Amino acid sequence: MEKALYIIGQAVGIVAIIIGIVTYQIKSRRGIMIANIASTVCFALHYAMIGAYVGMALNIVATVRNVVFYNSNMSKKKSTICTVTFAVIACVAGIITWEAWYSVLQLMNSVVRCYILSLSNPNSIRKGIMIVVPMTLIYNIIVFSIGGIISDSCSLISTGISLFRYREKPKKKQKA
């Protein structure tokens, strides 16, 4: 039964990959957030099934965080309070479910992502994702999350492509 649960968990990780690949190709912030919610739910289930409990706990926190950010039109002050609150909750969840030294990678990813997803500019979100994804990639290699490894690799490529697609074009100089 344990092996079957592990295999099902890896399959759920594949579903999360598909959602994750699509996430950063979405043009709007709200679309990115909806896809991110679906992805974090799938990854929480995935990590639980493969026994990577720091990943599970931090994806549960991430799901709640994403729902809050999606459903709110916060002022900068409220956004900062929410960001700090979720970063603290992530730290507590990470400490409670601590597995080993590599848990800090997921913890750092979760804390920094709190800030990144509070941003309103989709390109700023994409740039931030390029910073945190390598942390989760290392964690996923260590816990042997097949879905996580593939997802992080694809996320790096997909986010790079979307940064290119949605880059800001330089304004043309007007002749005097």
The 10s digit of each residue's pLDDT in 92-107 is 998 999 989 999 998 9
Q: Which of 41-45, 82-86, 156-160 has maximum average pLDDT?
A: 41-45
Region of poorest pLDDT, from 20-29, 41-50, 86-95: 20-29
49: nearest Cα among 16, 7, 15:
7
pTM: 0.77
- pLDDT, residue 42, reads 95
Between 72 and 106, the more confident residue is 106
- Local structure of residue 55 (DSSP, 8 states): H
- pLDDT, residue 22, reads 82
DSSP structure string for 71-87: H----HHHHHHHHHHHH
Between 24 and 2, the more confident residue is 2
Instruction: Answer for the pair 71, 29: CB distance below 8 angstroms, yes or no.
Output: no
What average pLDDT does the chain have?
A: 86
Instruction: Answer for the pair 118, 79: CB distance below 8 angstroms, yes or no.
Output: yes
Q: Which residue has the tokens 């997921």?
A: 106
- pLDDT, residue 96, reads 93
Neighbours of 44 (CB within 10 A): 21
pLDDT tier at 127, thresholds 50, 70, 90: confident
